[in-house]
Amino acid sequence: MNVLGLLPVMGQPRYAKRIAMMREQGAEVRCLAFDRPYHEGRPPDCAVEVLGSIPHGRYLFRLRVFLRSVGVIRRRIKDADVVYAFGLDMLLLGWLASLFLNKPLVLEIGDIRAVQTAGGLKGRLFRGLDKWLVRRAALVVFTAEDFYCCYYQDWLGLRLNHRVIENKIDFPVTPTAPKPLADGDTLVIGYFGVLRCEWSVRALAALADAYPDRLRIKVAGFSLLRAALLEDLDRRANVTVQGPYRSPRDLPALYGEVDMVWASYAPIAADDWNLRWARTNRFYEACAFGRPLVTRQGSNDGKWVAEYDIGLTLDAVEPEQAVARFKEVSPAVLRRWQENMRALPPSVFACTEEASSLHEAMRELVSQGRDHRP
């Protein structure tokens, strides 16, 4: 089976993970991608052709680059059995480029954007487009069950041929045993990944100031924040901020150095459905490496952290309010969370049958030999 992947960016670990799944099952994969300023944590392990460079914002410029790429995409699609599009914009490009070629399209949904759940005319128009566009896909892959059940099924009233493949780890892990914490020992918190939450940085700064001798904070990843914000955090003696890292190569060292993992957000707004439905890489990685989590009450991650009793869930509104909650993190409480982490079945955080399930679903599309466009 020859698969053509359409990637909106290079280096997104989830895209590389999915491509690795396909190749593991024997598929031949090549990708077309757009280059833009983004985290380069895990490049795809296959041949990649860059279609053009896209800056942040500048949507009219982005549209021109997309439209110029349609001819190239169409030529590459002719040699593929399946087109795998990461996101709705890539699905639209793939659909335009494959008109009358009778090639099945697979769509992967890793987020629900604010415009998809917005109120008013803008939201209704986009949901109408979304509803029409997602039907162009013969198979839809969701990274969270709630994306399908809550949004596409309940909000849009769709019944789709789909698979749920969570952001679980796809690599073997030999976690380092967490160090036992005694009274007076320093607790190390790690904030890793794509750094985009200003509230989290302010909360970590408040924690560093409140507990200069009790807490150390380690931050690593690709930042979408204002440089001054991280520079201010880094000025503290008990904080270390470093740049991007490679996944999964650098993960054992990062997670091995910390006692807890920061996976919280700002307070979730009433209309911020994505944070209620999504599952983060940090959740699965922290579970795999046996490091208790700090999460946001009301988020999907927070729900499962509370269910498994593997960390702290915050309901703080102001960043400074997170300080009081850390008085609860005693050595005994941390040990309990660590023990509960070790008791988790691997299926909670690691891939099991996902690769073979996806491969079988895609093989079925190819073998049907019909027009997959509704």
Residue from 19, 52, 57, 16 nearest 34 by CA: 52
Decide the pairing of beta strands 293-296 and 260-263. Answer: parallel
Q: Which residues pair with 142 in a beta bridge?
A: 109, 164
Q: Which residue has the tokens 């460079």?
A: 53
The edge-to-edge listing of strands for the beta sheet with 162-164 is 47-53, 28-35, 2-7, 82-86, 105-109, 139-142, 162-164
Q: Are 290 and 338 in contact (CB under 8 A)?
A: yes
Residue 237 to residue 103: CA distance in whole angstroms? 57
**Which mean pLDDT values do the consecutive 10-residue runs of the chain (374 residues) have?**
94 92 97 82 89 72 84 96 96 95 96 93 95 97 97 97 95 79 90 95 97 96 93 97 91 95 94 91 95 96 97 94 92 95 95 95 86 44
84-101 residues labelled b (16+ CB within 10 A) or e (exposed): bbbbbbbbbbbbebbeee
Contacts of residue 299, Cβ cutoff 8 Å, sequence gap at least 6: 265, 268, 275, 276, 278
Q: Which residues pair with 50 in a beta bridge?
A: 33
Q: According to the model, what pLDDT value does residue 57 have?
A: 59
pTM over 0.95: no
Q: According to the model, what pLDDT value does residue 59 have?
A: 60
Q: According to the model, what pLDDT value does residue 58 have?
A: 61
